[in-house]
Amino acid sequence: MKRSTLLPLVLLLGIGLFGQSLWVIDARLSELVTGVHGMADILSRASPPDFSSLPDIVWPTLETLDIALFGTVCGVIMAIPFAVLAARNVTPSKALYYFARSVIALTRAVPDLIWALLFVTAVGLGPFPGALALSVHSIGMLGRLFAERIEDMDMGAVEALTLTGAGRVQVFTHAVVPTLAPSLLGIALYRFDENLRSSLVLGFVGAGGLGFRMLTAMNLFQYREVSMLLIVTFLLVVGAEQISSALRKLMA
């Protein structure tokens, strides 16, 4: 089929898919317009931000940051061995390859909110279940990206060490790690950015941090505190992005 004929068909298909999505989600733009007044009312009650609540926000902010940090570090530690097994060019056997790929797919397919609910049921409310949820979910995302990097790496150093009689552990530590360390660290920093945002949402299911504090304030109609929490959240996310960007530039 010619490109000139295919492009209109793809365009029509895209329009059709978007049209059915409007029908399925029952989009009602008129109600959005009429609901602007209610949104404006909430915004008016949320200003000015309640700066007096800042001392009480320090600890939830630290919890949110540490949930993301714990989830990222533990996710990296657990993802690396699965990534090695899930990379075709270095995996010891096909059975381990399919096992590792299945684990990576499972941990990625189940949303972090579901993992958080499971861990909240297991260990109770607080930041710990949120950190565990991000750790498990990070295995799937990091494991897949790490495995792809390993499969795309230059195998020259690996083959050279293998010819000298080096074992699998020696090949991994002396060839794979030095070659991939910068790119893997960059991926881990991107994942930390995502985990920081996710840790805010996980607070709404009882996983602590700023999200849980925000949910409590909203349930009590304390909108001025909510606006203060949103400001702190914005500063935290932007600060983390700037630090991650600076670290990635240093590695480049």
Whether 1 has a pLDDT exceeding 60, the answer reads no
Does the residue 1 lie in any domain?
Answer: no
Chain segment 54-108, per-residue pLDDT in tens = 888 888 889 888 999 999 999 999 998 898 888 888 788 889 889 999 999 999 8
Give ∠ CA 48-50-52 in degrees, rounded to 5: 140
- Residue 2 confidence (pLDDT): 61
222: left (phi > 0), else alpha (psi -120 to 50), else beta? beta
- Residue 158 confidence (pLDDT): 64
Amino acid letter, residue 122: A
Looking at residues 116-127, what average pLDDT do you find? 85
The answer to whether 191 and 125 have CB atoms below 8 angstroms apart is: no
Q: At what angle do helices 54-85 and 209-219 cross, to 10 degrees?
A: 130
- Residue 151 confidence (pLDDT): 79
Does the residue 68 lie in any domain?
Answer: yes
* Domain of residue 200, CATH code: 1.10.3720.10
- Residue 174 confidence (pLDDT): 66
Higher confidence at residue 162 or residue 207? Answer: 207
Residue of 68, 77, 94 whose CA lies nearest to 236: 68
Looking at residues 9-19, what average pLDDT do you find? 86
The answer to whether 88 and 97 have CB atoms below 8 angstroms apart is: yes
- Which DSSP symbol is given to 90? T
Q: Percentage of the chain with pLDDT > 90?
A: 10
Does the residue 228 lie in any domain?
Answer: yes
- Residue 90 confidence (pLDDT): 75
Q: What is the pTM of this model?
A: 0.79
Distance CA 195, CA 204 (A): 15
**What is the count of structural domains for the chain?**
1
Does the residue 8 lie in any domain?
Answer: no
- Residue 167 confidence (pLDDT): 64
Specify which of 1-10, 35-44, 94-103 reaches the highest per-range mean pLDDT: 94-103
Does the residue 46 lie in any domain?
Answer: no
Does the residue 18 lie in any domain?
Answer: no
Looking at residues 5-33, what average pLDDT do you find? 81
Does the residue 10 lie in any domain?
Answer: no
- Residue 73 confidence (pLDDT): 92
- Residue 159 confidence (pLDDT): 66
- Residue 135 confidence (pLDDT): 92
Chain segment 217-248, per-residue pLDDT in tens = 888 888 888 888 888 888 888 888 888 778 77
Looking at residues 3-30, what average pLDDT do you find? 81
Looking at residues 201-213, what average pLDDT do you find? 82
- Residue 10 confidence (pLDDT): 84
- Residue 172 confidence (pLDDT): 67
Q: What is the mean pLDDT of the chain?
A: 82
Does the residue 130 lie in any domain?
Answer: yes
- Which DSSP symbol is given to 48? S
Distance CA 105, CA 117 (A): 19
Q: Could you identify the residue written with the tokens 């989600």? A: 25
Residue of 57, 71, 63, 58 whose CA lies nearest to 193: 71
Continuous H helices in 25-111? 29-34, 36-45, 54-85, 94-109
For residue 209, give its domain range: 57-251
**Dihedrals phi, psi of 64, to nearest 5 degrees:** -60, -45
- Residue 11 confidence (pLDDT): 87
Q: Look up residue 199 and give its two tokens.
A: 């840790």
